[in-house]
Structure 1
Amino acid sequence: MLAKSDVLNLDGLLSAAELSLRGSVRSFVAERIRPNIKKWYEDGYFPVEIAREMGALGLLGMHLKGYGCPGRSAVEYGIAAMELEAGDSGLRTFVSVQGSLAMSAIHKWGSEEQKNAYLPGMARGEIIGCFGLTEPSSGSDPSSMQTIATRSGNGWVLNGAKRWIGMASIAQVAVIWAATDEGIRGFLVPTDVEGFKATPIDPKLSMRASIQCDIELDNVELLDSAMLPGVQGLRGPFSCLNEARYGIIWGAMGAARDSYEEALKYSLERMQFNKPLASYQLTQEKLVNMLIEIQKGTLLAIHTGRLKDAGTLEPVQISVGKLNNCREAIAICREARTILGGNGITLDHSPLRHANNLESVRTYEGTDEVHTLILGNHITGQRAFR
């Protein structure tokens, strides 16, 4: 018999191991995140201690192999992202910043010395990393970055600024991308070095249980060994962004599913005109439309994950998933809030919190507009970015 909210039997597309992992992460969210997220979100608080807990569960850099990393599949990573974001986007974002951005940059482009120095501790959650690409005047167009690294003796001096950098104020290492005479290069910057300053951005209306920062780089001196040797140009940061974008395809559907389940439960319990809300045609239409988009978006995520595991996933396919699933997830969360009525604007219920968070998710790792133009370029052969 089909599950009521899995009418396409998508669980049948997952292996026993994948379902087991989902159960483990779902239990972690139920025990560790759900009881606390209301206060964390209200207080604008990220629980730093959860990093080691996530490391112990194998959630950090989980798709990376070797160097103490879990080495799980792309689909398994996606499943974990979905379950974490059903708890809160801010907590899933930490896993993405740590694993898909900072750890991926080191794993893909670092030296053996850099990989051995950082990745095992990052996988355990003992070392927290951040990823500095976006700048105050350069978001969607990183080629115009103003952060500069200049040669100085046997090392480098970095000057510039970054903005909206997740976890920067609690990180021990920052992956900083800077323009050099030989193109854009990545640098591993210890956050306790002189001239490095990270300031949390506050107040925020979104991602309140997460940390985003401004970074200032004022004559930061680094040895030559701080440079990531394996890549030159924007291919380096873009390869990491695609890892993060992939996780968002799954994560957004987690937020949408949680909002739908909250609205469904409420509609069955809330009585209006002597009948439950769920008995009204308009309410059922809302619930059905939400469920269909969640099933479609989850199917898209599974298919994308299978392509990634097969090594055939193209960046334009990631753009399809990121654009569609974020757009639909926000619509679902907002629609779920309408079923909750006035009660839906309180933190006693999750949909509006998810919708607020998804405004950030929809913007970072490529806005709707950027992914639309990536797809437009693919289907027409005409670049419309400039």
Structure 2
Amino acid sequence: MDADPKVAIELRWGIEMHADNAGQYGQTAMDLMARFEIPPTPHNYLVWYSYAAKENAALLRTIDILIADGRTFTDAWCDDLYFQFFGQADDAAILSALAENMEESLAGTIAQILEASADTSQFGSALSDVKGKLNALTDAKDETKALVAALLTATQRMERRTLKLEQQLNQSSSQIQDLRNDLESVRTEALTDPLTGIGNRKAFDNYLREKAMHAMEEGSDLCLILCDIDHFKKVNDQWGHQIGDKVLELVSQCLTETAGSQAICCRYGGEEFAFIVPAQQLQQACDLADILRLALCEKCVMNRASGASVGTVTMSFGVAQFAFGEPLPSLIERADTALYAAKHNGRNQVMSEADIPKEPGDQIAIAG
């Protein structure tokens, strides 16, 4: 089970995630960022929220020194602060929790102000009515009229201040919503392979955990396909890394379009891709892998700059089926073993865990 980001932030930096101070810390962070002309990015917000909370002594000391020295908080300085203190953290989840708490806090505060504003407005109307009646009376004392007039003036002044505070809080609420939108972008970028546009290794890990849990809960099948481009190093060596990148893009596009909704495709690393195949048994997943293999064999890669043919790209595939309750690294290991068996057996083919020798002495020697 994933750690609660609210707990994680307390463990890492000791920042209390209570609604009664989250709004105060958040507004202080926004004010400081505006004062020092710091862009309100998610990373910068995390740094300055932590500074406002005064719980991270090292961060507090560092920023205080920078302020005392009159340093300008350039983008480079801001990046250094983030990576020095938070570079290894799951900042998207933590910032999302911060934003959620601040929104709850601000929503409660705005509701209270609106209620107080309504009461103040009613009180002001009542005083205005009393003033009108007093002015109509010939025997009302001047002191009484002056007192009511002063109270009415003070009430009107308070109404204006309340309205201004309400506007400021609404603006802060809008800023927080913008921050949450930025966080969604950060989260998407963190799970996307920048070259191919499909899920990266982190996304794969998340999807596999999710689908394995669902399979156990529903008693349904789940398979994993790992595939690797054959002789990809030769493509890079002969044609250069730019052509190699184009090959990866082509392969990604072909695989995802062919698989469609049957499987989740991610870039596992380098020239290796992974497919998480829900609700399919081992043979069905092998059939899908062969469909993917054949679809790719039909593609011919061309060098647009020279018009030369790079050739046909082939892939080797390894398939394994999830056993309920097993550690996920075991599933990955079996699929990976089947993949390298396919490479050892001549490449451009599909092998499953069922094809792997089970005897201890029948280990497969993998060539490079």
TM-score relative to the length of structure 2: 0.29
Q: Which structure is higher in strand share?
A: 1
TM-score relative to the length of structure 1: 0.28
Q: Which structure is higher in helix share?
A: 2
